[in-house]
Amino acid sequence: MKLVQALALAALAAPLLLVPRGPSRAADAAAGGVPPEDLRLFEQVMRQVERSYVRPVAPDQLTANALKGMVNRLDPHSDYMDRKEYKQTAANISGAFGGIGIRITEETGVPKVISPIDGTPAAHAGLEPGDLIVAVNGEATDGMDLLQTVSALRGDPGSRVTLTIERGNKAPFPVTLRRATIDVPTVKYQLEPNRIAFLRISEFDATTPGAARAAIETMKREAGGHLRGLMLDLRDDPGGLLGAAIAIAGDFLDGGTVVSTRGRLSADNQVYAASGGGDLLPGVPVAVLVNSGSASASEIVAGALQDRRRATVMGTRSFGKGSVQTVIPLGDEGALRLTTALYYTPSGRSIQGIGISPDVVLPAPAKEQVTSAVINHENDLHGAFSPVGTAAHKPMPQSFSRPIKPDLIATPQDGQLKAALAQFERELGTRRAEQ
């Protein structure tokens, strides 16, 4: 199973070509080169396929398939992208593309919905987390890789696409959607009663930090210049750009570490500190709301504010996606998305496979949960890195539940948010009494 759209891009690295030297396989391996025996085997297999396979296969297709197999079997998040797929990934990051607006994973060869994106055709059509997409326009998706599925789902705005959906024990049923330009704002906000600001981030892209700061300033003005507290909602936020996460966390911290990374190469061992103008809300209590759909960049923000004692984390255990994917362009031949390091919170906790456990456990009310959804976390994915560090020897936290129905998030029917705001109000009252 693989996550898409949950990319934490640490850096762009230059291509590196390793040339084998010398006859010794062990020496070649130690030097990082490709042993000649392996190159000969690869060439032999390609020739046999070209000569004997039941249908003609172009050599470039064989090469691309071989590269994909080599890289995407390393872990759930590494992959080789050809030129078309690389451009598609760039469109994901830019935040504007034509499609239906869902985040998907792959489960036993079939695409599965993580969540629809707020305000998109998928959300309006009622697609739910856990839905299996067994066909697109009548073509079975079994065995189709995720980027192929995404390509099939996308198209010109206004065009139609029909999905065949399996949901729980129900018989498969068709859902026809009209594609739209997916350019959905990542930040939503509103001032709650008693001058509590509500800020929802659905994904971290290049526009998110600026939009979040503008929202905070707007709510401060609406509150007469002073907020009593801020609720930061990161539920079902699959992540995004590392730089955006660092900027958001830094807006609630006066300097200091936000996150660190550790990898094989010294260049991958980095400490990322808060920058900018410092805490935008000094002295104002903050709460962060997370669930099993909160991954990657959203876990970095929650973990940083929790470790630095700047926020109370509420909700259920997050996804646990604590690895860094570096996008490495390969000239005109696409790019690698390669896992190069792991994330650590300011106190040195690994996020990988463990996630962020809330200080206050608040599951969604049973009637609001997606009953057909299977609860998956990073450590459930095939090939995922095991939890690392001291926490690896402790029992896995069990503070999770099925996710809330996406169409209820941040609406008047959002019982989990109501419970979180009520808990936050109690905390604010306790702090005032102590002062």
> Which residues are the active-site residues?
296, 307, 321
Whole-angstrom Cα distance, residue 254 to residue 275? 8
Whole-angstrom Cα distance, residue 15 to residue 334? 11
Within 291-414, where are the H helices? 297-307
Count Cβ neighbours within 10 Å for each residue of 144-183 and write b for 16 or more, e otherwise: bbbbebbbbbbeeeeeebebbbbbeeeeeeebebebbebe
Whole-angstrom Cα distance, residue 218 to residue 213? 9
Whole-angstrom Cα distance, residue 315 to residue 421? 11
Residue 204 DSSP class: B
Paired residues of 272 in beta bridges: 259
What angle separates helix 59-72 from helix 36-52, to the nearest 10 degrees?
Answer: 130
Whole-angstrom Cα distance, residue 102 to residue 88? 15
CB count, 10 Å around CB of 225?
A: 8
Radius of gyration of the chain (CA): 23
Report how far apart the first and last C-alpha atoms of the chain are (Å, whole number). 50
Q: In one letter, which amino acid is 104?
A: I
Residue given tokens 């599925």 in the structure block: 149
